[in-house]
């Protein structure tokens, strides 16, 4: 198993470097495809391994602990450099403070002779590795043709793809390391690596707005990093170990540990872009689509929820736990409401991601076995569906030149294949019997003991329906009668899309198996909540119903056509609703969605949401003192 | 059995759509009077719908002119079969006193086929209800003819 | 096994029949309030039978697809209710229908249909949290989301959850498309300018949607019935009083705007829910 672990962490680092050094596009594609295949295989093999601990032997005569410590400072140095380069005071302060904290921890506090296994792989880690390696790899593959076209759009003189793929592939390694790390210092190292990678990727296009947003991402995540360092210090002071397994086992060790956990959760919040830190993830949209897909679905933000979920046993039953649940549920609600006010497709996806992460974090905070199961389910299903949706939006954007959902009106006629894939993706996020909704159901059931949390979840769940259903409907809003034209997607784009859509559906079908294989071993024995899902009957009935409906719809092509109702003013049988206006001139029908800016507009809600969220976080950490 | 129930139901549930082609509103008021408690056409399952796609019977009042003849035609086309058209009032049946006006096409039957003519200026609610009942018979006959033809 | 099949049949066959009959009674009572005679009790069945006899016309195959999915989801949720399944699951299955109804309406560029779809979404937004909170309150009172366990509860839940019943009443009014919350489409034909979200569904497809609506009516009334499930007589009485109150509200209220509804229903509904839930927590 140790080979897999080394492979999963180091191969992406090596492959990233290879991408950077080998300038030929063909070789780069080959490296990315090979890495994707190897990572996928290794992650699948890891799943069957069961809990194992592993420490790599010394490298070139140096202990890995030392190497990681040196790299830690090197990373912080790089971040500090960018702080100076962009003249951002916050980044400078946060990285210097982190260095100080780390210095104290490394030089004066930590007993370096204690043996701490560097990696520990249990079910949760294995699941995360699986998601990162498979979904992340698919995104990397998708990025190959996407970046080619992207650079053609930009008319670059020299390709910047080598640098792009360096960080894109490296990111996967950092994430794999993060979810498998057992030494909390190592966890911190990988945590910071993802910060740096995301900074590089967000700023990749080098435009003014890209740099501005990248810097914002960097300072927010550095703030998270600082919280992490402080959290480590508190934790070490009260537990006296860097071993995460030991920390988890020492639950209820007192206020010091709880404050530490609260701070580490805060670091997780910044990484998961929970309110009030949501702005960096929204800003990350300026990056090329594969980056947003990677940040939102499988990597960066999942690192945040992973940390919160990983530490959950350490703060179970405490005030911090309730605080985490509250913060998560509030994010779930606030971002679902903000998503309603948006017409920018990527922004809707971004808010929906944050909102779903909020739900996962709320589940971690509720901290019962059923809630944990719901959280893991959500991580799995959300990663697949959201990656799919991001790639869909990217594909659509390259074709129609816009990411506004109003411009996607009637996309079905222009891009039938992408449209139905997108709609399926949306439905997998929204409706039973698909996994995300099943997890949401489990979450609501397990939250019903907490009044405020469950009320927020109920509201958020309704808001979620609105923005998804509206989007799916908009894609369909096509004038009838016409046959859609075939769209001819490149294979490297079509294959990841089809793989993800098939994955999203099939994973939901296999939810009981997923539960048994992945979730059950992590939890104390409890009756599988899936039993209550009636999953197969549901799938059977709904599937049969869908087939019936499809058959009826197909037949209806032969039935009489009726023009859209335009009070009879329509011109002939015109399918697009053009009507006979003043002076007998044709007037096109224009429809638009309700975005309710007066209720859910960003300008209206953001300030309030940020203040409320900050108050909740203060409550969460302050309550532990 | 289902077929005969559907046949029976057709007569029991005529949904009417009322289109004012340019009436003086006299006939319109009488049409709406049918819905009031005084006449209560809902007794016969008649519902006044606002959408040709749901309607069985099109009630047209007023003279047809060049501007709204397209609208009348469109509404008629959007009604699914079986359907019936009832022209109401002097204007609807023949163009009435406006018959010779330069902008007037004439009665409803110049644009779409009419099944029942209800005369009057304005037509009385009783006459309109009578017209609807007659219209129902007509389209029952039409359906039968179509079925035998098929 | 036989009971299961019987229950499925009840949910699948008797429920829509009851729903249709109820629609007829509703129209009859409404007419009575307006000093009219009103249509026969069986009118709803005549209407639907007639609709199935009409020529199928659609401006879009999606409409057909969505109408069918709506029916399947509504029927399935109703059957799950009679099988005494999990309330939240039943509700989410029902939401499939709501989403598809909206998607179908949005697929046609008619402005009436479009606006109707948006308003329908706002209605969903308004009643969904209320229903979830009602289910949560049932869970807190009985310890289970399963209808079977809730039915096994020994005391009438209405006594414990009086405010939640009012909250459910709001959701019921919206779900039954009654004034003042009937702005995506009204269940009264003559009350509509066009037909909102249903504008583009015609002929047999409208018939399908009508049947789906019967299923949903029975489902929501079924949830109401859970509030006095210990005694059949009282349950019937409760349902009768509730439905009568709905008709009176429908006949005495004007249609309001969606803004008003969203704000008013959320404030009142959430307020009542929170108060009632706090009582329950206090007892636990």
- Give C112→chain A minimum CA distance, Å: 8
- Give B100→chain C minimum CA distance, Å: 33
Q: What would the pLDDT profile of A52-98 be if each residue is shown by its tens digit?
A: 787 777 776 677 778 888 888 998 999 999 988 888 888 888 888 99
A511-520, B33-42, C269-278: which is most confident? C269-278
CB-CB contact of A340 with A467 (8 Å): yes
Ramachandran angles phi, psi of B58, nearest 5°: -105, 120
Q: Which of A431, A451, A553 sits opposite C64 (nearest CB)?
A: A553
Nearest-Cα residue of chain A relative to residue B76: A568
Among A291, A293, A308, residue whose Cα is nearest residue A168: A291
State yes or no: pLDDT of C282 exceeds 60. Answer: yes
Q: What would the pLDDT profile of A401-428 be if each residue is shown by its tens digit?
A: 888 888 888 888 888 888 889 999 999 9
Which residues are A121's β-sheet partners?
A: A52
Which two structure tokens, joined as six digits, stand for B2?
A: 């289902």
Is residue A531 very low, low, confident or very high in pLDDT (cuts 50, 70, 90)? low
**Per-residue pLDDT at C47:** 92
User: What are the CA-CA distances from residue C262 to residues A332, A334, C256 (Å)?
Assistant: 19, 17, 11
**Given CB atoms, is C31 within the 8 Å cutoff of chain B?**
yes
**Per-residue pLDDT at A524:** 66
Q: What share of chain C is helix, strand, coil (3-state, %, to 5)?
A: 75, 0, 20
**Per-residue pLDDT at A435:** 84
Contacts of A580 in chain B (CB under 8 A): 70-71
Which residues, in sequence order, are CB contacts of C134 under 8 Å at separation 6+? C164, C167, C168, C171, C223, C273
Ramachandran angles phi, psi of B19, nearest 5°: -120, 125
Contacts of C45 in chain B (CB under 8 A): 9
State yes or no: pLDDT of C20 exceeds 90. Answer: yes
- Tell me if A458 and C133 make a contact (CB, 8 A cut-off): yes
Size of interface A-C (CB pairs under 8 A): 204
Is residue A298 very low, low, confident or very high in pLDDT (cuts 50, 70, 90)? low
**Per-residue pLDDT at A5:** 83
**Per-residue pLDDT at A544:** 87
Please give the distance of CA A286 from its chain centroid, rounded to a whole number: 16
User: Among the listed ranges A85-99, A113-127, A465-479, C20-34, which one has the minimum average pLDDT value?
Assistant: A113-127
Is residue C196 very low, low, confident or very high in pLDDT (cuts 50, 70, 90)? confident
> Rounded mean pLDDT of B4-30?
87
Return the higher-pLDDT residue of B7 and C214. Answer: C214
Q: How many helices (H) and strands (E) in chain B?
A: 5, 7
**Per-residue pLDDT at A533:** 58
> Rounded mean pLDDT of A302-314?
89
Contacts of B44 in chain C (CB under 8 A): 39
Q: In a 3-state reduction of DSSP, which class is residue A54? A: strand
Among A346, A48, A567, A103, residue whose Cα is nearest residue B17: A567
> Rounded mean pLDDT of A505-531?
74
Averaged confidence pLDDT in chain B: 87
Q: What would the pLDDT profile of A350-363 be if each residue is shown by its tens digit?
A: 899 999 999 999 99
CATH number for position B83:
3.40.50.12280
Contacts of B5 in chain C (CB under 8 A): 49
Q: Calculate the dihedral angle through the C-alpha atoms of C183, C184, C185, C186, rounding to the nearest 10 degrees.
A: -30
User: Can you tell me the ipTM of this complex?
Assistant: 0.92
> Rounded mean pLDDT of A284-308?
83
**Given CB atoms, is B70 within the 8 Å cutoff of chain A?**
yes
Q: Which of C55, C193, C198 sits opposite B80 (nearest CB)?
A: C55
Which residues, in sequence order, are CB contacts of A285 under 8 Å at separation 6+? A292, A346, A347, A350
State yes or no: pLDDT of B148 exceeds 80. Answer: no
Is residue A588 very low, low, confident or very high in pLDDT (cuts 50, 70, 90)? confident
**Per-residue pLDDT at A285:** 83
Q: Distance (Å, rounded) from C-alpha A367 to C-alpha A372?
A: 6
Is residue C124 very low, low, confident or very high in pLDDT (cuts 50, 70, 90)? very high
Contacts of A463 in chain C (CB under 8 A): 125
Q: What would the pLDDT profile of C73-102 be if each residue is shown by its tens digit?
A: 999 999 999 988 889 889 999 999 999 999
- Tell me if C202 and B43 make a contact (CB, 8 A cut-off): no
Q: Would you say residue B146 lies in a domain?
A: no
Contacts of B77 in chain A (CB under 8 A): 562-563, 573
Q: Distance (Å, rounded) from C-alpha C236 to C-alpha B53?
A: 38
Among A590, A569, A565, A591, residue whose Cα is nearest residue A579: A569
User: Among the listed ranges A441-445, A603-607, B78-82, C280-284, which one has the minimum average pLDDT value?
Assistant: C280-284
Which residues, in sequence order, are CB contacts of A543 under 8 Å at separation 6+? none
Q: What would the pLDDT profile of A175-194 be if each residue is shown by its tens digit?
A: 999 998 888 888 999 999 99
Q: What would the pLDDT profile of A242-274 be if each residue is shown by its tens digit?
A: 888 888 887 665 778 888 889 999 999 999 988
Q: Which of B2, B9, B80 sits opposite C46 (nearest CB)?
A: B9
- Give C135→chain A minimum CA distance, Å: 9
Angle at the Cα of C55 (from C50 to C59), degrees rounded to 5? 120
**Per-residue pLDDT at B150:** 56
Among A96, A38, A127, residue whose Cα is nearest residue A379: A127
**Per-residue pLDDT at C207:** 93
Contacts of C206 in chain B (CB under 8 A): 53-54
State yes or no: pLDDT of B95 exceeds 90. Answer: no
Return the higher-pLDDT residue of A491 and B121. Answer: B121
**Given CB atoms, is B49 within the 8 Å cutoff of chain A?**
no
Among B28, B32, B10, residue whose Cα is nearest residue B83: B10
State yes or no: pLDDT of B66 exceeds 60. Answer: yes
Q: Which of A481, A548, A562 sits opposite C57 (nearest CB)?
A: A562
User: What are the CA-CA distances from residue A168 to residues A148, B3, C217 (Å)?
Assistant: 15, 65, 53
Q: Distance (Å, rounded) from C-alpha A267 to C-alpha A361?
A: 13
Q: Would you say residue B148 lies in a domain?
A: no
Residue C42 buriedness (CB in 10 A; 0-12 / 13-18 / 19+): middle
- Tell me if B54 and C195 make a contact (CB, 8 A cut-off): yes
Q: Return the partners of chain C (3 or more C-beta pairs < 8 Å).
A: A, B
> Rounded mean pLDDT of A424-450?
87
**Per-residue pLDDT at A252:** 63
State yes or no: pLDDT of A313 exceeds 90. Answer: no
**Per-residue pLDDT at A401:** 86
Which two structure tokens, joined as six digits, stand for A534?
A: 């009636």
Which residues are B20's β-sheet partners?
A: B61
User: Among the listed ranges A22-31, A351-360, A398-407, A567-576, which one has the minimum average pLDDT value?
Assistant: A567-576
- Tell me if B70 and A563 make a contact (CB, 8 A cut-off): no
- Give C36→chain A minimum CA distance, Å: 31
Task: Choose, out of A341, A412, A449, A465, the residue to mutate when testing the contact with C (most C CBs < 10 Å).
Answer: A465
Contacts of A569 in chain B (CB under 8 A): 70-71, 74
Q: Which domain holds residue B94?
A: 14-140
Q: Which of A565, A571, A580 sits opposite B78 (nearest CB)?
A: A565
Which residues, in sequence order, are CB contacts of C98 under 8 Å at separation 6+? A465, A469, C70, C120, C124
CB-CB contact of A48 with A209 (8 Å): no
What domain count does chain B have? 1
Is residue A532 very low, low, confident or very high in pLDDT (cuts 50, 70, 90)? low
- Give B98→chain C minimum CA distance, Å: 29
**Per-residue pLDDT at A530:** 59
Which two structure tokens, joined as six digits, stand for C206?
A: 């409208």
- Give B78→chain A minimum CA distance, Å: 6
State yes or no: pLDDT of A481 exceeds 60. Answer: no
**Pairing verdict, β B64-65 and B47-49:** unpaired
Q: What would the pLDDT profile of C149-159 be if each residue is shown by its tens digit?
A: 898 888 888 88
Using the structure block, give the residue that is written with the tokens 């890891």.
A46
Return the higher-pLDDT residue of A495 and C264. Answer: C264
Maximal C-alpha separation, chain B: 53
């Amino acid at each position: 198993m140790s080979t897999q672990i080394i492979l999963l962490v180091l191969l992406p680092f090596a492959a990233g470097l290879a991408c950077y050094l080998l300038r030929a596009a063909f070789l780069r594609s080959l490296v990315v495809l090979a890495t994707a295949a190897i990572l996928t295989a290794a992650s699948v093999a890891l799943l069957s391994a069961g809990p194992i601990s592993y420490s790599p032997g010394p490298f070139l005569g140096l202990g890995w602990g030392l190497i990681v410590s040196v790299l830690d400072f090197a990373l912080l140095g790089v971040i500090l450099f960018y702080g100076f380069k962009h003249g951002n005071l916050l980044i400078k302060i946060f990285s210097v403070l982190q260095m100080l904290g780390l210095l104290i921890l490394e030089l004066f506090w930590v007993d370096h002779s204690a043996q701490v296994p560097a990696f520990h792989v249990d079910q949760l880690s294995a699941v995360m590795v699986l998601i990162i390696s498979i979904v992340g790899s698919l995104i990397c593959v998708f990025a190959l043709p996407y970046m080619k076209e992207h650079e053609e759009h930009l008319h670059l003189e020299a390709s910047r793809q080598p640098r792009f793929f360096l960080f894109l592939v490296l990111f996967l390694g950092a994430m794999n390391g993060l979810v498998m790390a057992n030494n909390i210092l190592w966890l911190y190292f990988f945590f910071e690596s993802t910060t740096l990678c995301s900074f590089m990727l967000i700023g990749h296009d080098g435009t003014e707005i890209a740099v501005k947003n990248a810097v914002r991402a960097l300072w927010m995540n550095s703030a998270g990093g600082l919280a992490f360092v402080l959290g480590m210090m508190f934790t070490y002071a009260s537990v006296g170990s860097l071993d995460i397994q030991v920390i988890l086992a020492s639950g209820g060790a007192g206020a010091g540990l709880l404050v530490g956990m609260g701070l580490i959760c805060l670091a997780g919040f910044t990484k998961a872009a929970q309110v009030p830190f949501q702005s960096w993830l929204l800003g990350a949209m300026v990056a090329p689509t594969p980056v947003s897909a990677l940040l939102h679905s499988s990597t960066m933000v999942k690192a945040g929820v992973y940390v919160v979920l990983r530490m959950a046993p350490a703060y179970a039953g405490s005030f911090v736990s309730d605080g985490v649940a509250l913060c998560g549920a509030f994010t779930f609600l606030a971002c679902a409401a903000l998503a309603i006010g948006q017409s920018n497709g990527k922004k809707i996806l971004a808010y929906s991601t944050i909102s779903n992460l909020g739900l996962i974090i709320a589940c971690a905070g509720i901290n019962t076995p059923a809630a944990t199961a719901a959280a893991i389910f959500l991580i799995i299903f959300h990663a697949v569906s959201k990656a799919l949706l991001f790639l869909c939006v990217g594909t659509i954007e390259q074709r129609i030149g816009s990411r506004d959902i109003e411009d996607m009106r009637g996309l079905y006629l222009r891009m039938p294949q992408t449209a139905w894939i997108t709609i399926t993706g949306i439905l997998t996020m929204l409706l039973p019997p698909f996994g995300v909704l099943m997890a949401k159901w489990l979450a609501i059931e397990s939250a019903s003991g907490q009044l405020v949390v469950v009320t927020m979840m109920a509201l958020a769940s309704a808001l979620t329906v609105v923005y998804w259903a509206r989007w799916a409907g908009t894609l369909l809003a096509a004038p009838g009668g016409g046959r859609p034209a075939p769209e001819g997607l490149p294979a490297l784009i079509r294959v990841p899309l089809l793989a993800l859509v098939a994955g999203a559906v099939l994973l939901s079908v296999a939810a009981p198996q997923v539960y048994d294989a992945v979730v059950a071993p992590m939890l104390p024995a409890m009756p599988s909540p899936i039993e209550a899902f009636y999953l197969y009957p549901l799938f059977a009935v709904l599937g049969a119903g869908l087939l019936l409906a499809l058959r009826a719809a197909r037949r209806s092509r032969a039935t009489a056509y009726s023009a859209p109702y335009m009070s009879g003013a329509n011109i002939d049988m015109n399918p697009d609703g053009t009507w006979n206006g003043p002076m007998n001139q044709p007037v096109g029908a224009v429809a638009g969605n309700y975005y309710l800016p007066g209720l859910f507009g960003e300008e209206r809600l953001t300030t309030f949401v940020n203040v409320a969220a900050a108050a909740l976080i203060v409550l969460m950490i302050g309550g532990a003192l | 059995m289902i077929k005969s129930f559907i046949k029976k139901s057709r007569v029991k549930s005529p949904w009417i759509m009322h289109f004012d082609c340019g009436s003086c509103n006299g006939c319109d008021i009488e049409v709406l009077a049918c819905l009031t408690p005084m006449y209560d056409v809902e007794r016969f399952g008649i519902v006044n719908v606002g959408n040709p796609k749901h309607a069985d019977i099109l009630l047209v009042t007023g003279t047809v002119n060049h501007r709204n003849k397209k609208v009348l035609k469109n509404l008629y086309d959007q009604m699914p079969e079986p359907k019936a058209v009832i022209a109401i009032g002097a204007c609807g049946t023949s163009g009435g006193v406006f018959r010779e006006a330069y902008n007037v096409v004439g009665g409803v039957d110049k644009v779409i086929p009419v099944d029942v003519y209800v005369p009057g200026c304005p037509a009385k609610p009783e006459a309109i209800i009578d017209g609807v009942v007659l219209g129902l018979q007509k389209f029952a006959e039409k359906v039968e003819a179509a079925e035998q033809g098929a | 096994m036989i009971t299961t099949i019987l229950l499925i049949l009840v949910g699948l066959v008797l429920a829509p029949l009851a729903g249709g009959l109820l629609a007829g009674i509703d129209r009859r009572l409404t007419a009575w309030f307006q000093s009219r005679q009103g249509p026969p009790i069986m009118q709803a069945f005549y209407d639907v039978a007639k609709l199935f006899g009409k020529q199928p016309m659609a401006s879009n195959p999606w409409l057909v697809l969505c109408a069918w999915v709506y029916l399947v989801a509504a029927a399935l949720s109703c059957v799950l209710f009679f099988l005494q399944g999990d309330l939240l699951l039943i509700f989410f299955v029902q939401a499939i229908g709501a989403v598809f109804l909206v998607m179908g309406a949005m697929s046609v560029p008619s402005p009436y249909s479009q606006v109707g779809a948006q308003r329908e979404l706002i209605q969903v937004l308004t009643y969904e949290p209320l229903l979830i909170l009602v289910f949560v309150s049932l869970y807190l009172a009985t310890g289970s989301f399963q209808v079977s366990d809730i039915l096994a509860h020994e005391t009438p839940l209405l006594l414990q959850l009086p405010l939640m019943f009012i909250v459910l009443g709001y959701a019921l009014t919206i779900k039954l498309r009654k004034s003042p919350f009937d702005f995506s489409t009204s269940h009264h034909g003559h009350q509509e300018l066009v037909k909102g979200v249903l504008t583009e569904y015609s002929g047999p497809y409208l018939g399908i949607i009508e049947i789906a609506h019967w299923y949903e009516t029975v489902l929501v009334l079924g949830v109401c019935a859970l509030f006095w499930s210990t005694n059949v007589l009282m349950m019937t009485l409760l349902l009768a009083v509730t439905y009568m109150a709905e008709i009176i509200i429908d006949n005495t209220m004007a249609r309001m705007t969606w803004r008003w509804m969203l704000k008013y229903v959320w404030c009142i509904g959430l307020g009542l829910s929170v108060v009632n839930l706090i009582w329950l927590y206090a007892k636990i």
